Amino acid sequence: MSESVIADFVASFNSERSARAEPVKGRVLLSQKRLVLAADDSKTTIPLSSIFDVAVGHVPPDLGDFFDSTVTVAFEKGNDRFVAVVEADDDTIEKFSTVLFKALLNGTDTTVQHPAEIGGRVTDSEYVPAKLFLDPKGVKFKRQGDTVTVSLAAVTKFERSTREIAGSERAVLSVRHMPDGQAMTTVAAIPSARKLSLLGRYLRLEYSDLMAELKDIELADPEIELLVAVYSTGDMDGIPLANVLDREASEVTMLVNDLSEKDLLTTGEAGPTLTPKGRVVVNRHLEDVNE
């Protein structure tokens, strides 16, 4: 491979162009242009431009000793569609899937309208060219002069729809999020239907990971009040949370400790701050209140 390699590891995979083949052990090599599955007696080369879907199968931690996690890549060759499956431990698969999505999507040309809506009100923002880049738990749209960042912790809804852009109907991804407690919508159009589909897949995967982490968390009203207070008083340094909540300081300390154990808050010298999971909880609460 003449281009630089961005991932190189040993894994099991089906090196045939069919998921029915028995997995073999070999090297997985990824560059900005292609994915290569190299076994002793065979080599499968998959141009990244031919990949139209990526699925990630994580194994629950308690089953990790028995089963591997997987990345399934669907691609086209000629007029046919094939599937290749790469199996490895959960950590390796997580890193590989992130690098693969970045190789597939980073630098993609998009047309972005931001904000398309603020608080449910449609704006007159223009659609402007931007480049797409993936972030940990989010995406960035780099426009001339600024960058629009969409953090998944702030997302309350995303959907695929169509909008009229420059006189023609275009497929778009519409993302509703609350970056600063105010609901807004960002709309992105990507000329390539394949890349729009891959971006949707990436967002669903990342978002479902966040939701899975929150599934078993139960919160009492005082805990939700405290999370919202931390969110709201982020710019009000020096005001004790006990004053904001009208509660005893000892009770607030206990609530902060409980929420830290649930990985919804972190505490530092400047006081408690929300974790990404904490931001999701607050944004979903605010969305419910505003509806």
Separation between Cα atoms, residue 50 and residue 74, nearest integer Å: 8
Residue 109 has pLDDT above 70, yes or no: yes
Q: Pull the structure tokens for residue 279.
A: 């931001």
- Evaluate whether the domain defined by 217-289 bears CATH number 1.10.10.10: yes
Residue 105 has pLDDT above 60, yes or no: yes
Least confident of 55-69, 109-123, 160-174, 187-201: 55-69
Residues 115-126 have a mean pLDDT of: 91
Higher pLDDT, 42 or 18: 42
- The sheet that has 51-57: what strands, in order across it? 43-47, 34-38, 24-31, 5-13, 80-88, 69-77, 51-57
Strand-pairing partners, residue 34, are 47
Higher pLDDT, 290 or 252: 252
Least confident of 5-19, 109-123, 159-173: 5-19
Q: What are the distances in angstroms from CA 147 to CA 20, 100, 115, 142, 174?
A: 44, 23, 12, 4, 17
Give the confidence band of 17 by pLDDT, cuts at 50, 70, 90: low
Domain ranges for the chain: 5-104, 108-214, 217-289
Domain 108-214, second-level architecture: Roll (2.30)
Q: Residue 91: CB partners within 8 Å, gap ≥ 6?
A: none
What pLDDT, on the 0 to 100 scale, is given for residue 86? 93
Residue 236 has pLDDT above 60, yes or no: no
Residues 260-268 have a mean pLDDT of: 87
The CATH class of 5-104 is: mainly beta
Separation between Cα atoms, residue 239 and residue 227, nearest integer Å: 15
Q: Rounded to two decimals, what is the model's pTM?
A: 0.81
Give the confidence band of 1 by pLDDT, cuts at 50, 70, 90: very low
Separation between Cα atoms, residue 176 and residue 72, nearest integer Å: 29
- Domain 5-104 and domain 108-214, same fold? Reply is yes
Residue 269 has pLDDT above 50, yes or no: yes
Cβ atoms < 10 Å from Cβ of 160: 12
